[in-house]
Structure 1
Amino acid sequence: MDTDRVTELRRWEDSGAVWRVVGRTSSTVTVALFSCDGGEQVGVFTSEDPRLLQFVGDRDTNAD
């Protein structure tokens, strides 16, 4: 089952939590998910989804 990572990151942002790009190539992005205070990493994923690459763009975190 494919996960809609754009929707996941939007929900993550809406809940006040933090995501950060921890790896990037020309065709993939690796994103770490952190607790609302940004302290504890609770998940990580790598994706080649063009929609996700466009959504993240050149940002390093959802705070950018």
Structure 2
Amino acid sequence: MSTDPVETLRRWQDSGAIWRVLARRADSVTIGLFECTGGQEVDRFTSADPALLRFLEERTSSED
């Protein structure tokens, strides 16, 4: 996984896979990385990166 969480989500989405916000707090977010079908969770990470929080805004998944 990249050290840049925004890059990680963009690459994941560009490859056809799905990411979803699993938990959101004022200062951090937990993201689940799922297979292309959206079925099985492959990985997850939690980040307080300000750029990631701005990137997500109100989005809940790569499908938004």
* Shift, 1:60, TM fit: 0.7
Please name the residue that 2:16 is paired with: 16
Counterpart in 1 of 2:38? Answer: 38
Q: TM-score, normalised by structure 1?
A: 0.94
TM-superposition CA deviations, 1:13-36 (whole Å, max 9, x none): 100000000000011000000000
Distance 2:29 2:9 in 1: 13
Report the count of equivalent residues.
63
Moved segments of 4+, more than 4 Å: none
Deviation at 1:54, TM superposition (A): 0.6
| Superposition TM-score, scaled by structure 2 size | 0.94
Taking only aligned residues, the RMSD between alpha carbons, in angstroms, comes to 1.1
Q: Which sections of structure 2, spanning at least 5 residues, go unmatched?
A: none
Question: Following TM superposition, by how much is the alpha carbon of 1:56 offset from its aligned partner in structure 2, in angstroms?
Answer: 1.0
- Percent identical pairs in the alignment equals 52
Cα displacement string for residues 2-58 of structure 1 (whole angstroms, at most 9, x for unaligned residues)? 810100100001000000000000110000000001001000000000000011111
